[in-house]
Amino acid sequence: MKWLLACVAPVLLAVWILFLSAHGPASWLIVPGALIGSACVAGFSFLRSFSRPLRALCLSLYLLPLGLLSTYRASPFSVSKTFEIGALPPASAPSEMSIAQLPTGVTYRSASFGYRGGSLFEPREFSMTATLIKHPKGDLLIDTGFGRDIAQHLATLPLFFRLLTRYSLNKTAREQLQSSGYDLTRLRAILLTHSHWDHISGAADFPEVPVWIPPAERSFVQGEDFTTAPARSIKPLHLEEYRFDARPYLGFAESHDVYGDGTVVIVPAPGHTPGSVIVFVTLPDNKRYAFIGDLAWQLEGVTEQEERPLTQRLADAGPRLVRENLAHMAAISARYPEMTIVVAHDPRSFASIPTLVPKP
By the 8 A CB rule, do 237 and 231 touch? yes
Mean pLDDT, rounded, for 40-47: 79
More confident residue, 5 or 359: 359
State the pLDDT at residue 79: 87
* Closest C-alpha among 236, 161, 243, 160 to residue 198: 161
State the pLDDT at residue 2: 72
State the pLDDT at residue 1: 66
State the pLDDT at residue 55: 74
State the pLDDT at residue 359: 80
* Bridge-based pairing state of the strands 187-191 and 211-213: parallel
CB under 8 Å to 38, separation ≥6 — which residues?
none
State the pLDDT at residue 314: 79
Return d(Cα 91, Cα 88) in angstroms, integer.
9
pLDDT, tens digit, 9 for 90 and up, residues 193-232: 999 999 999 999 999 999 999 999 999 999 999 999 999 9
State the pLDDT at residue 3: 65
What residue type is assigned to position 223 of the chain? Answer: G
Question: Which residues pair with residue 265 across a beta bridge?
Answer: 257, 280
Return d(Cα 183, Cα 139) in angstroms, integer.
10
pLDDT, tens digit, 9 for 90 and up, residues 60-104: 888 889 999 999 999 998 888 889 999 999 999 999 999 999 999
- Range in 21-30, 58-67, 224-233, 298-307 with the lowest mean pLDDT: 58-67
Check pLDDT > 80 for residue 262: yes
- Mean pLDDT, the chain, rounded, equals 93
- Provide the whole-model pTM: 0.94
Helix axes 52-70 and 2-23, enclosed angle (nearest 10): 10
Q: What is the DSSP annotation of 232-300?
A: HH-SS--EEE---BS--BTTBS-BEESSSSSSEEEEE--SSSTT-EEEEEE-TT--EEEE-TTS-SSTH
More confident residue, 286 or 58: 286
Residue 233 confidence class, pLDDT cut points 50, 70, 90: very high
Return d(Cα 42, Cα 10) in angstroms, integer.
11
Residue 336 confidence class, pLDDT cut points 50, 70, 90: very high
